[in-house]
Structure 1
Amino acid sequence: MAIDLTMHIDRPGRRDALLDWLQMLTGAGLIVFMWSHMILVSSVVISPRAMDALAYFFEATYMAQVGGPLIFMAFLLHFVLGARKIPFRARDQRTIWRHSLMLRHRDTWLWVVQAVTAM
């Protein structure tokens, strides 16, 4: 016995597009931070004095104290913007799971994996 379940989905508007762009920009900013952090930490390979000089610069200019909360806020904003697309109710999660099984589409499964790993 088959049961048809329909979900009401609003048509995306300009606000959704703006929030998607904001999510993309926060994600790109976090990627730039991660890459620059890896490069700066790997300066210890050049010499410990180079890393100490970089650490002194960041402490003297208060970038470490200001940057930490800014990165945290960017991460939190990115999470909130991404979470609006994830179904949190069990009924909606079952619907997404059934649709993924029914469609057998690679992009749908990639979205499911991305949503599960983000939680």
Structure 2
Amino acid sequence: DLQVIYRLVWYGSSLDVNREVNNGRGPVDYKISYGKKNSTLVEFKLASNSKLKQNLAKQVEIYKAASETERAIKVIMYFTEKEYEKLCTVLNELGLADCKDIVLIDARDDNKESASNVTIAK
């Protein structure tokens, strides 16, 4: 669902946005480009993925080489505190904790008050 919503963000853009691009080493989730020399890969992962560490360490680098690009963004979604803790451990082990090309999406439902219950101070 997140990938479908992500595609809608690019609707009407002058950029070329392609899903499941397979340049020979498996399909990357998205490749966004403005000409051959200006492209970025976007790979979505769930923190619960049993191969998360392996994928973060190698998968996108292989896709980058196959797509002849230097840029890639890794988007990781987590649904529980336990998943978040596992994710932080993996990122620290790989030396990626401060990587600007990794986007974390907090999809927990136990740490946010419903907007209908929020009171706005005047």
TM category, shorter:
under 0.3
Which one has a larger percent helix, Structure 1 or Structure 2? 1
Which one has a larger percent strand, Structure 1 or Structure 2? 2
TM-score (structure 1 length as normaliser): 0.22
Larger Rg belongs to = 1
